[in-house]
A and B are shown apart, each in its own frame.
Chain A
Amino acid sequence: MAQAAEIDIASVTKRYGPEAVAVDSVSLKIKAGSYCCLLGPSGCGKTSTLRMIAGHESISSGDIRIGDVVVTDLPPARRPTSMMFQSYALFPHLDLVDNVAFSLKVKGVPKAERRAKALEMLTLMGLEPYAERRPAQLSGGQQQRVALARALITNPQALLLDEPLSALDPFLKVRMRQELKRLQRDLGITFVHVTHSQEEAMALADLVVVMSDGRIEQAAPPREIFRRPATAFVARFMGDHNVLSGRVAAIDDDGATLALPDGVSFRTPKDPRLTLGEPAEIAIRRDRIAIGEATAPGFGVTGLVKNIEYRGGSMKVTLDAPGVEEFTVYADEDVFDGKPHAVGDAVPLAWALADVHVLAPPTH
Chain B
Amino acid sequence: MRSMVEEARRSMTAIEAPSDILETPAPTMRRRASRRLASYLQAAPLALILGAFLLLPIAAIVIVSFWDYDSVQIYPDFVTLNYAETLGSWVTWRTFFNTVKFVVLVWAISLFVGFWVAYFLAFHVRTVKMQTALFLLCTIPFLTSNIIRMISWVPFLGRNGLLNSALVDLGIVPAPLEFLLFSEFAVVLAMVHLYALFMVTPIFNTLVRIDRSLVEAARDAGASATQILTNIIIPLAKPGIAIGSIFVVTLVMGDFITVRFMSGGQSASVGLMIANQISLLQYPAAAANAVVLLAVVLMMVAAILRIVDIRKEL
Contacts and interface: CB of A to CB of B under 8 A. Distances in A.
Interface stretch (A63-71, A89-97, A259-267): A89-97
B213 A85 contact: yes
Interface string B202-226: 0000000001011011111111100
A89 B217 contact: yes
B16 to A, nearest CB: 40
B62 interface: no
Given A91-B232, A93-B235, A86 B220 contact: no
Contacts of B220: 54-56, 76-77, 82-83, 151
Given A85-B216, A93-B236, A102-B231, A107 B222 contact: yes
A117 to B, nearest CB: 14
Contact size range, B: 10 to 19
Interface residues of A, number: 24
A285 interface: no
A105 B232 CA distance: 12
B217 A85 contact: yes
B227 interface: yes
Contact of A89 (B214, B223, B231, B235): B214
Q: Is chain A's interface secondary structure helix, strand, loop, or mixed overall?
A: loop
Contacts of A76: 216, 219-220, 222
B129 to A, nearest CB: 18
A87 B213 contact: yes
B42 to A, nearest CB: 32
- Most A Cβ at <10 Å: residue of B217, B219, B220, B231: B220
Contacts of B231: 102, 105-106
A154 interface: yes
A197 interface: no
A331 to B, nearest CB: 35
A102 B219 contact: no
A320 B218 CA distance: 54
B211 A106 contact: no
Contact of B221 (A55, A56, A92, A106): A106
Contact of B213 (A82, A89, A106, A151): A89
Interface of A: 54-56, 75-77, 82-83, 85-87, 89-93, 102-103, 105-107, 150-151, 154
Q: Which 6 A-B pairs have the closest CB atoms?
A: A103-B221, A77-B222, A89-B217, A89-B213, A106-B223, A85-B213
24 contacts: A55-B220, A56-B220, A75-B219, A76-B216, A77-B219, A77-B221, A82-B220, A83-B220, A85-B213, A85-B217, A86-B213, A87-B211, A89-B211, A91-B217, A92-B214, A93-B235, A102-B218, A102-B231, A106-B218, A106-B221, A106-B222, A107-B222, A154-B221, A154-B222
